[in-house]
Structure 1
Amino acid sequence: MDRLLANFKISVNETIFNKDPESSDLGKRIIKNSIELIHAIGFDAFTFKKLGAEIGSNESSIYRYFDNKHKLLIYLSSWYWAWLEYQLVIETHSVSDPNEKLKKAIEIATKSIKEDSKHTHINEVTLNKIIIEESYKSFLTKEVDKENQDGYFKVYKRFVTRLQEMIIQVNADYKYPKSLASTIIETALHQHFLKNHFPTITDCKSGTSPTQFVTDFVFRILNNKAL
């Protein structure tokens, strides 16, 4: 386990940023305050000028780290999935039973997030809310194919692949493990969104979590029976 963790780190594709925000106090303040500001006013209303006012710095100083707010959102999304992948690796490494491992993985991918004290400049709870509300805007663009080729979404895709491999371990005959793996993530995000904004069209509310729904859904498909 120690060797596994030693080789695993939360990292983001270097082509997304001009200067690593983790490398300086200003960079960390950019990340911290961008999360708070995007959550407060929404990504559409968010600008580097407004962020600069929040951190007491010139707008130009932010551009030294990111070309535009789109790349900043991709950075935040990539960091989130890398952080969640870290939880996945740690919490499933010692689980030998394929069913229990997949259940744990689904829980990690779908649960309500708690703040991780290891990263004082990043509030994971608030970042999770941004992922639920805004993450689609990071890839629903005309440039998505080029950005995909450049590896912008590598961490997210790697997380899906880990889920896919666990699905195959449960049922190697299932024909659509990739589709099911990506559906687990997107369904969870959508159900969290519905729970927060359109509670009349979801069963995920008090007493029933997106984790419970997705777990039941997945194992009904793989085993043709409820848990």
Structure 2
Amino acid sequence: MKQLLSQIKIEINKNLFLKDPESSDLGKRIVQNSILLIDKTGFEQFTFKKLGKEINSNESSVYRYFENKHKLLLYLASWYWGWKEYQLVFSTANIPDPRVKLEKAVHVLTRQVEKDTFVSHVDEVVLNRVVVNEFSKSYLTKEVEKEIKEGFFAVYNRLVLRLKELIIDVDPDYLYPSSLASTILEGSLHQHFLKEHFSALTECSAEVSPSDYFIHMINRILKSDKNG
């Protein structure tokens, strides 16, 4: 799977950037170091001026690629969810049993991220931490309706819909497949956050992963057929 993934370019909404960062070494360094710097300082303290220092370039060079740090965060989140989508598609492609397929999908979407060789300038482990800690800041804004219409969250929405369809394949009579799918995707970030910062508020730990929790949830909620 890694060899196949390494040949794929994740498509990002072109309105999120002024110049495609994948088109140059500087752009790739901007992406690489923005992930590291946001992880280090947090999104609130992150600035293009600080990023410019990290890449030994002027602040203005960052602005040639991204209009502001909000769109950079949206870009990083879109890249992350696109990467997750490819993992989901390839991991479940040849699984005929709907429940096994759903369990695999949930595991892929909620598991602890490990470093792979998908893209050399993106540390997926660090990016995962950034998404866990910062993703909600990309949509808890007054501009979210406008940004949804512009397609800034299209990859995330598509991933929820993929998971929804897998839920329906297991239990067509379940009344809330969209709610369950979005709860799993967003809830996985929350459970990873609680595990690291509010351990008393979750059973997830070094021994019990968020994947264990969400797979247990779907198996308790969903019936395999009308008589199940």
TM-score of the pair, normalised by structure 2: 0.94
1:23 corresponds to: 23
Alpha-carbon distance in 2 for matches of 1:39, 1:176: 35
What is the CA-CA distance between 1:200 and the residue it aligns to?
1.1
What is the CA-CA distance between 1:126 and the residue it aligns to?
0.2
1:121 corresponds to: 121
What is the CA-CA distance between 1:8 and the residue it aligns to?
6.5
- The letter for the 2-side match of 1:134 is E
1:217 corresponds to: 217
1:64 corresponds to: 64
- The letter for the 1-side match of 2:31 is I
Alpha-carbon distance in 2 for matches of 1:111, 1:8: 22
1:145 corresponds to: 145
What is the CA-CA distance between 1:206 and the residue it aligns to?
2.4
Alpha-carbon distance in 1 for matches of 2:88, 2:59: 37
* Contact 1:9/1:86 (8 A) holds in 2: no
Map 1:36-55; keep pairs closer than 5 Å: 36-55=36-55
Alpha-carbon distance in 2 for matches of 1:118, 1:192: 23
What is the CA-CA distance between 1:223 and the residue it aligns to?
2.6
Secondary structure, aligned partner of 1:78 = helix
Alpha-carbon distance in 2 for matches of 1:216, 1:223: 13
What is the CA-CA distance between 1:219 and the residue it aligns to?
1.6
Alpha-carbon distance in 2 for matches of 1:130, 1:219: 30
Aligned residues: 221
Alpha-carbon distance in 1 for matches of 2:55, 2:218: 44
* Contact 1:17/1:65 (8 A) holds in 2: yes
What is the CA-CA distance between 1:150 and the residue it aligns to?
0.2
Identity over aligned pairs, percent: 57
What is the CA-CA distance between 1:182 and the residue it aligns to?
0.3
Alpha-carbon distance in 2 for matches of 1:153, 1:216: 28
What is the CA-CA distance between 1:210 and the residue it aligns to?
0.4
